[in-house]
Amino acid sequence: MDTAVKKVVVVGGGFAGLNFAKQLMSNKDFAVTLVDTNNYHFFPPLLYQVASGFIELSNISYPFRRLFQEKENMRFHMGSLVRVNKDNNTIDTTTGTLAYDYLVLALGTETNYFGIENVKQQALPMKTIEDAVNLRNHLLLAMEKAVMTNDPAEKEKLLTIVIAGGGPTGVEIAGMLAEMGHHIGAKEYPEFTGIRSRIYLIDAGPVLLGPMSKVAQAEATKVLGKLGVQIITGVAVKDYADGKVILDNGTAIPTKSLIWTSGVIAREVPGLPEGSTGRGRRILVDAFNKVKGTANIFAIGDICYQDTDPQYPNGHPQLAQVAIQQGKLLAHNLQQFIAKQPIRPFIYVNKGSMAIISKYKAVADLPKFSFKGLLAWFVWLFIHIIPLVGFRNKAKLAFSWFYSFITNNPTLRLIIRPKERIS
């Protein structure tokens, strides 16, 4: 058995990369360096609650260096990947060059604007912590500007929110904003007596929550409709110009706020062999998550495309559970490999999918059945607390949720370092 310590570089500290690294924390056969643009791990499923001012960003984030305290074989390198140098087993980052014996790519995805340049420049994505804080600032500033203007058309623009994308993120942010409008708007903005903000939820598909069950789709449509969200399906956003969202059916919706949750694309990784990247820039991997055309480079999570799983011949869905399971199995397989023991191909165990719609309303699709309502809401809360890193995060989040839901009055509506200011 080769007893030399193996240098492992992991690029990306999301669900896939972090779960991979955590499995090797106590294994002195590996020296692991985790590379990330940010110095913290965060929990993307709850970004929309940060964006709506419902929870603090510290509830869903945790510093890597704090996580790696007293772990002698773990290191953190803050920087962005520039290029993979396959032939000499190094990567270039914006802050230096790192050598590896094994490279694990877990960079995840970024927002896909489908080539619509105006949307890319002006829409509000919700992919990172920075996006969530910027969205919160923008929405709060829009409310303050609406209070000050005497122009009815401008006021309507400022109080209209368009959400593009009817998947779980779009449904969740629509429900949260509608709930807060009902419970908080009248109390904090008496200037809007008789005026209510409009929320549009638009999806190019025929239904909301397209990948989920008919039970979930029907419940989302019903609950959001009761909250006053105007749902438009079967229509795509074509452009966003002159303060108007232009739909491909010719409709124009005047608004200052276009929230973009319509899709993602894998992050680009320069330096990989030709032919190793497929549709949506996803990296092609074998049954063991090894990048095609390489000997010691692996890709896990949303960034990879794997067609060897019998139940998923067209690749796995880009979900947190897939990333977590791939990260854990790859760590297991690397340990088995250097010990000259058998390794296992990746087979995804589907644990279901969930979405929260509004207060006490959620939908859950488990492998054998679907359910909705209060039970699904409690299950959603439980499931979304467990994966958080650190006991303090779990306790803070549980308390924040309990207080905010009971009082209908979270207190985090702070405009902090906005990109634009009221002039």
Query: Model confidence over 244-263: pLDDT tens digits?
Result: 999 999 999 999 999 999 99
* Residues 234 and 276 reside in one and the same domain: no
> What is the rounded distance in angstroms from the CA atom of residue 314 to the CA atom of residue 42?
29
* Residues 242 and 285 reside in one and the same domain: no
pLDDT at 211 over 80: yes
pLDDT at 406 over 50: yes
Closest CA to 291 of 267, 279, 273: 273
The reply to whether 405 falls in a domain is no
By percentage, how much of the chain surpasses pLDDT 90? 74
* Residues 128 and 250 reside in one and the same domain: yes
pLDDT average, residue stretch 109-135: 96
The reply to whether 145 falls in a domain is yes
Q: Can you tell me whether residue 16 is helix, strand or coil?
A: helix
pLDDT average, residue stretch 232-245: 97
pLDDT classification of 388: cutoffs 50, 70, 90: low
Query: How far is residue 164 from each of residues 121, 155, 216, 222, measured CA to CA in Å?
Result: 15, 21, 19, 19
Residue 190 vs residue 147, higher pLDDT? 147
Residue 389 vs residue 80, higher pLDDT? 80
The reply to whether 348 falls in a domain is no
pLDDT at 305 over 50: yes
CATH, residue 328: 3.50.50.60
The reply to whether 374 falls in a domain is no
Cβ neighbour number for residue 182 with a 10 Å cutoff: 15
Question: Which residue segment(s) compose the domain that 179 sits in?
Answer: 117-262
pTM: 0.92
* Residues 156 and 178 reside in one and the same domain: yes
The reply to whether 419 falls in a domain is no
* Residues 93 and 130 reside in one and the same domain: no
- For residue 61, what are its two tokens? 């984030």
Per-residue pLDDT at 181? 81
* Residues 214 and 303 reside in one and the same domain: no
pLDDT average, residue stretch 95-113: 98
* Residues 154 and 107 reside in one and the same domain: no
Number of domains in the chain: 2
* Residues 88 and 213 reside in one and the same domain: no
User: What rounded mean pLDDT belongs to the chain?
Assistant: 91
Lowest mean pLDDT among 15-19, 98-102, 342-346, 404-408: 404-408
The reply to whether 293 falls in a domain is yes
pLDDT classification of 1: cutoffs 50, 70, 90: very low
The reply to whether 49 falls in a domain is no
pLDDT at 129 over 90: yes
* Residues 255 and 269 reside in one and the same domain: no
pLDDT classification of 330: cutoffs 50, 70, 90: very high
* Residues 188 and 322 reside in one and the same domain: no
Domain boundary among 338, 364, 390: 338
Lowest mean pLDDT among 17-31, 280-294, 371-385: 371-385
pLDDT at 400 over 80: no
Per-residue pLDDT at 322? 96
CB 41 within 8 A of CB 393: no
Lowest mean pLDDT among 121-125, 176-180, 203-207, 401-405: 401-405
Domain boundary among 214, 235, 262: 262
Lowest mean pLDDT among 54-58, 210-214, 264-268, 311-315: 54-58
Closest CA to 296 of 113, 104, 129, 138: 104
The reply to whether 392 falls in a domain is no
* Residues 199 and 143 reside in one and the same domain: yes
> What is the rounded distance in angstroms from the CA atom of residue 206 to the CA atom of residue 49?
26
CATH, residue 227: 3.50.50.100
pLDDT at 423 over 60: no
Residue 55 vs residue 169, higher pLDDT? 169
* Residues 97 and 152 reside in one and the same domain: no
Domain boundary among 203, 231, 262: 262
Per-residue pLDDT at 163? 98
Query: Model confidence over 52-65: pLDDT tens digits?
Result: 887 788 888 899 99
Strand pairing category for 109-111 and 264-266: antiparallel
> What is the rounded distance in angstroms from the CA atom of residue 375 to the CA atom of residue 76?
40
